[in-house]
């Protein structure tokens, strides 16, 4: 039986609550003989700061580097609002992305048929939706230098963030988007703001060139990022794959989340470049949502984004596509049977907690395996 080494970073807020549910799912797959999962857990975010004054320790960085896949919960919360900027909880996540070279962030937004009425948009707008946002994750304004607040001679302060992209960074994320489009609807929409940003001009040129030279079988459309946000709530089904920079991808994927019913539904995969010798990619799997301080500790968070992220790990890092299909099907069936956490429940409908949703998915896996 294949054996995999998973590094778990539950993090803060609802992170640990949803990670527990993934643990029971991976135990189930292990008991079924699908694979052996060696798991180790570390600290990230506020919990790491509380333990050793850093958003992630060097030791945990090493374990993340060595793992077949990292499973990440969420970080952040009001408790750490005033810690120094460099060690704030989010810095742990950004360091993992940068140091592991996780430049490609896949954020699929699928509206399960049973949830078409849970979206804040009309049923016909979201029913059957299946789009994929491919977000560049290690460049742009998140990492560009300078990044600082300086005090001017007149005592005023000036804050600088730098949006920066190179040809190579745009080429490689474009290829990820085009390759994935080939396995789906064969359409890519590239979102940027070439009308006001030099990085948008270069982004547009590079994506156009890659599309023309290497992917003439994939339809390419360019859309200004603000218009893209509007189109996503007007008629999202016009899209198949959307490729965009780090910041636009962050915002557009939260918009896409609400098309599916809740931010608690959206999984993601962050992938590095394939290793030249082994072909293996470094990878981290995390829900799109954050630590949800408003509901943390109440046992009511939706674990589906986290569980769906584990399904992506099975598919993209562990070569267990059948197990991934089975887990996705179990989630769909549980939703179809009417089980709902509070965030996706209709007004007046009974909602279950995090644990009950996790248990319902394990039970459904059991039924599917019979
Ligand atoms: P958030 O995503 O944590 O929450 C936004 C809203 O969505 C809240 O009302 C929350 O209750 C709800 N929500 C989120 N996930 C849910 C789930 N699984 N089930 C049910 N409801 C859910 O965003 P925020 O409140 O803006 O940020 C809180 C903290 O999380 C901040 O410190 C932020 O930096 C951090 N954050 C971390 C990540 C991450 O770790 N990947 C992502 C986004 C935000
Ligand atoms: C996300 C989050 C992160 C981001 C934060 C927590 C650094 O919002 O993964 O979407 O901005 O990328
Ligand atoms: Mn975000």
Rounded distance between C-alpha atoms, residue 144 and residue 62, angstroms = 25
Write out pLDDT tens, residues 283-332: 999 999 999 999 999 999 999 999 999 999 999 999 999 999 999 999 99
Whether 266 shows a pLDDT value over 90: the answer reads yes
SS3 for 269-312, per residue? EEECCCCCCCCCCCEEECCCCCCCCCCCCCCCCCCHHHHHHHHH
Is 321 flagged in the annotation as binding? no
| DSSP type of residue 345 | P
In sequence order, what are the residues at sequence separation of 6 or more whose Cβ sits closer than 8 angstroms to the Cβ of residue 37? 3, 4, 6, 26, 29, 30
The CATH H-level superfamily of 1-103+272-370 is: Isopropylmalate Dehydrogenase (3.40.718.10)
What pLDDT sits at residue 208? 99
Ligand 2 contact, 254 CB (< 6 A): no
- Was 141 annotated as part of a binding site? no
Confidence at 246, pLDDT banded by 50, 70, 90: very high
Ligand nearest to the CA of 15: 1
Average pLDDT, stretch 328-341? Answer: 97
Of all atoms in ligand 1, which is nearest to the CA of residue 78? 32
pLDDT value at 162 more than 90: yes
Residue carrying the six token digits 């098309």: 259
Task: Count Cβ atoms below 10 Å from residue 121 Cβ, excluding itself.
Answer: 19
Euclidean distance between CA atoms 173 and 169, whole angstroms: 7
CATH topology of domain 106-267: Isopropylmalate Dehydrogenase (3.40.718)
Cα separation, 24 vs 37, in Å, equals 12
Residue 301 is labelled as binding a ligand: yes
CB-count burial class (<10 Å; 0-12, 13-18, 19+) for 31: exposed
Residues identified as active-site: 142, 193, 226, 250, 254
pLDDT band of residue 351 (cuts 50, 70, 90) is: very high
Q: Which residue has the higher pLDDT, 119 or 21?
A: 21
CA 155 / ligand 3 centre spacing (Å): 33
pTM above 0.95, yes or no: yes
pLDDT value of residue 249: 98
Residues sharing a CB contact under 8 Å with residue 115, sequence separation 6 or more, in sequence order? 260, 261, 265, 335, 344
Element at 370 (helix H, strand E):
none
pLDDT of residue 1: 86
Cα of 206 to ligand 1 centre, how many Å? 33
Fold agreement (1-103+272-370, 106-267): yes
Judged by its nearest atom, the ligand closest to the C-alpha of residue 17 is 1
Q: Per-domain residue ranges for the chain?
A: 1-103+272-370, 106-267
Region at 100 (left for phi over 0; alpha for psi -120 to 50; beta for the rest): alpha
Nearest-CA residue for atom 5 of ligand 1 = 292
Q: Are 84 and 54 in contact (CB under 8 A)?
A: no
With a pLDDT cut of 70, the percent of the chain lying above it is 100
Complex ipTM: 0.98
Give the per-residue pLDDT at 132. 98
Q: pLDDT per residue over 86-120, tens digit each?
A: 999 999 999 999 999 999 999 999 999 999 998 99
d(CA 36, CA 8): 15
305: Cβ below 6 Å to ligand 2? no
pLDDT above 90 coverage of the chain, percent: 98
């Amino acid at each position: 039986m294949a054996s995999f080494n998973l590094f778990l970073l539950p993090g803060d807020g609802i992170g640990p609550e949803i990670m527990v549910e993934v643990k029971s799912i991976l135990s189930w797959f292990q008991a079924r003989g699908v694979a052996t999962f060696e798991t180790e857990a570390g600290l990230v975010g506020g919990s790491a700061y509380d333990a050793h004054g850093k958003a992630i320790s060097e030791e945990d960085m090493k374990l993340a580097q060595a793992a077949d896949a990292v499973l990440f919960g969420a970080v952040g919360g009001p408790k750490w609002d005033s810690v120094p900027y460099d060690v704030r909880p989010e810095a742990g996540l950004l360091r993992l992305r940068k140091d592991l070279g996780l430049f490609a962030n896949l954020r699929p937004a699928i509206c399960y048929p049973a949830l078409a009425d849970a979206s804040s948009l009309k049923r016909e707008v979201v029913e059957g939706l299946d789009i994929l946002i491919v977000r560049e994750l290690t460049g742009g304004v998140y990492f560009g230098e300078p990044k600082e607040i300086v005090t001017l001679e007149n005592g005023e302060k000036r804050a600088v963030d730098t949006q920066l992209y190179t040809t190579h960074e745009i080429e490689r994320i474009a290829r990820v988007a085009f390759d994935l489009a080939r396995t789906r609807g064969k359409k890519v929409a590239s979102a940027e703001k070439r009308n006001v940003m030099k990085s948008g001009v270069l982004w547009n040129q590079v994506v156009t060139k890659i599309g023309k030279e290497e992917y003439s079988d994939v339809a390419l459309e360019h859309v200004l990022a603000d218009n893209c946000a509007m189109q996503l709530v007007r008629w999202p089904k016009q899209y198949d794959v959307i490729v965009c920079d780090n910041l636009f991808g962050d915002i557009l994927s939260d918009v896409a989340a609400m098309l599916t019913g809740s931010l608690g539904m959206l999984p993601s995969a962050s992938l590095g470049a394939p290793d030249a010798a082994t072909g293996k990619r470094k990878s981290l799997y995390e829900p799109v949502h954050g630590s949800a301080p408003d509901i943390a500790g109440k046992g009511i968070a939706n674990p589906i984004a986290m569980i769906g992220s584990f399904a992506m790990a099975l598919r993209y890092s562990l070569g267990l596509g059948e197990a991934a299909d089975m887990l996705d099907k179990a989630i769909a069936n549980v939703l179809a049977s009417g089980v709902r956490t509070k965030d996706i429940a209709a007004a007046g409908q009974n909602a279950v907690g995090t644990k009950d949703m996790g248990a319902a998915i394990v039970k459904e896996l059991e039924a599917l395996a019979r």
